[in-house]
Amino acid sequence: MLAVGETAPDFPVTLSSGQRIALADYRGKNPVVLFFYPADFTQGCTQQACAFRDSYAALKET
**pLDDT at residue number 46:** 84
**pLDDT at residue number 40:** 73
Say how far apart CA 20 and CA 12 lie, in whole Å.
7
Say how far apart CA 49 and CA 6 lie, in whole Å.
23
Q: Is residue 45 annotated as part of the catalytic site, yes or no? A: yes
Q: Is the pLDDT of residue 62 over 80?
A: no
What is the domain range of residue 32? 12-61
**pLDDT at residue number 49:** 85
34 within domain boundaries:
yes
How sure is the predictor about 45, in pLDDT bands with cuts at 50, 70 and 90? confident
Q: For residues 33-60, give the mean pLDDT.
A: 82
| Under 8 Å between Cβ of 50 and 42 | no
**pLDDT at residue number 12:** 94
**HSE-up of residue 23 (Cα within 13 Å, Cβ side):** 9
Say how far apart CA 23 and CA 25 lie, in whole Å.
5
Catalytic residue from among 3, 36, 45, 58: 45
Number of domains composing the chain = 1
